[in-house]
Amino acid sequence: MAEGLFRELVKDRSDYKVGSAGVSAMPGGNASKHTADILKEKGVDVSGFKSRALTRDLVEEATHIFTMAKHHLDAVVDEFPGAEGKAYLVSEFASEDMLRNADVTDPFGGPRRIYDDTRWMLEKLLPTVLAYIEQTTKPKSEEA
């Protein structure tokens, strides 16, 4: 869901490459029915989505890594030391106190309302992630 929503947020930006991977994901899985339905309602197509596990190559290629929960962040940094300094909690930059540093619930297997709650949180958090990236990343043309 986060990948689909963030892709939509930067859909007109050719300077972003968006992907997702899980610390314990089973490779090749489709988006859940509730995720697909929620994103379809927002005009986001995830029919081609396939889950994948986080790998050393993905970590090395990434400029930023955002996790949904603190235990995910800890697992990423523990398993992939190269992630330190570019891995963050997705809620780390939230402007609202109640959301800042909060874990985003993994709705997998739950009822639709839990997926809706997750979507609501992500819609609040992902613009702050984008703002952080924009404020801390120099375009290639500005690099010395």
How many domains does the chain contain in total?
Answer: 1
Dihedral over Cα of 58, 59, 61, 66: its sign: positive
The domain in which residue 129 lies consists of 2-136
Residue 141: inside a domain: no
| Residues 89-131 pLDDT 10s | 999 999 999 999 999 999 999 999 999 999 999 999 999 999 9
Residue 144: inside a domain: no
Residue 83: inside a domain: yes
Residue 80: inside a domain: yes
Residue 117: inside a domain: yes
Structure tokens at 45: 């197509």
Residue 99: inside a domain: yes
Question: The domain that contains 54 carries what CATH number?
Answer: 3.40.50.2300
What's the mean pLDDT when you consider all of the chain?
Answer: 94
Closest listed residue to residue 123, CA positions, set 60, 17, 38 = 38
Number of Cβ atoms within 10 Å of the Cβ of 66: 25
Residue 15: inside a domain: yes
**Residue 143 confidence (pLDDT) above 60:** no
